[in-house]
Amino acid sequence: MFVQLVWFLVQRVLWSCVTLWLVFTVTFFLMRMVPGGPFQLDRNMSAEIQRNLAARYGMDLPLWQQYGNHLWRTLQGDLGPSFTMADYSVREILGQGFVVSASLGVCGLAFAVLLGVPAGVLSAAFRAKRIDRVVMLAATLGMGVPNFVLGSVGIVLFVFGLPLFPAAGWGNWRQLVLPSLCLGAPYAAYLARLTRTGMLEVLGQDYIRLARAKGLRSWSVLVRHALRGALLPVVSFLGSATAGVLTGSLVVERIFALPGMGSHFVEAALHRDFTLAMGAVLVYTLLLCVVMNVVDLLYALIDPRVKLA
């Protein structure tokens, strides 16, 4: 088992490296294909100054040489300086924004799991009853409403209507509550439906009937025996949910004016900051690779029938 686990991790690390290189290559050439550049957005800047800046950052070199230089610096851990934010390197900018985005993502996922999984279990336990219909109706609405709509409604209700939370900013836990709820609500709805479906499938198995025939309490059967099998689709969904939280946080961070990686990525795209945009894309890709590998490991640990391969 240990040798199989090590070989699995080695394979996944190699595939992650290949994925990062492909993402780097595609992103590099796509950004260079877009008309304009980081030094052509300021109309007050003369052509001579633009040429000097391009020479300073190596933008006047042939495209293949720019690619090689950028790739070599990235392999050394140097993401380069930001083109638009003076005196800041890309690593410093993303390091500051990562704390905000990670806090928002962890809180959003925690809210989704803590709300969605119990709601799904409760709905399956009271199948075809009023509480089941209420939970599924709420889940359907949660899946259909985008998080930026939830953010706008949340600001109207809990900032202007009931002044419980601040509208924007970063600094204390109260400024994190409303964005986390808006970010995690759609995924809580998905998790509720997945958990309910998995629970209903598991509750029809023979070992569940045997547990009930032994006289075990209903909640003990649900939590100790049925929930483990029902969590398999939930664990699989957590990988794509993490990807959705990372990409969805771009919108939420803009709505609530949070200085996270999403805000920096949007600004980099608008101002043609090639190095900052590249750094953000690579960090997002690396996080997704790590999350998907962890999800596969958890899937194998939860279900002994799944083999690492």
69 domain-assigned: no
Give every residue of the chain whose pLDDT is below 70, as ranges.
1-2, 36-58, 86, 247-248, 299-309
Read off the CATH number of the domain in which 125 is found: 1.10.3720.10
Domains in the chain, number: 1
* 24, 284 contact by CB (below 8 A): no
Between the alpha carbon of residue 187 and those of residues 19, 20, 33, 174, the distances in Å are 26, 27, 35, 21
Greatest extent of the chain over all pairs of C-alpha atoms, in Å = 85
**What single DSSP character describes residue 214?**
T
Q: Identify the pLDDT of residue 40.
A: 61
Domain membership flag for residue 168: yes
> Which pair of structure tokens corresponds to residue 101?
């985005």
Q: Which of 5, 2, 70 is nearest to 32 (CA)?
A: 70
Taking the C-alpha atoms of residue 295 and residue 190, their distance in angstroms, rounded to an integer, is 17
Cβ contacts of 135 within 8 Å, gap of 6 or more: 119, 120, 122, 123, 192, 196
Are the beta carbons of 229 and 198 closer than 8 angstroms?
A: yes
Write down the pLDDT at residue 18. Answer: 94
CA-based radius of gyration for the chain = 24
From 252, 253, 136, 251, select the one nearest 191 (Cα to Cα). 136
- Confirm whether 262 is domain-assigned: yes
Structural domain that includes position 223: 94-302
Query: In this structure, are residues 77 and 146 in contact, taking their beta carbons and an 8 Å threshold?
Result: no
- The reported pLDDT for the residue numbered 48 is 66
Residues 242, 245, 246, CA angle at the centre, nearest 5°?
A: 90
Sequence-ordered list of residues with C-beta below 8 angstroms from that of 40, at least 6 positions apart, any chain: 50, 272
| Two structure tokens written together for 46 | 């003369």
Question: Is residue 285 situated within a structural domain?
Answer: yes
Residue whose pair of structure tokens reads 């409303």 in the numeric block: 178
Residue 254: its pLDDT value, please? 82
Is 180 contained in some domain? yes
Q: What is the pLDDT of residue 42?
A: 56
In a domain, 219, yes or no: yes
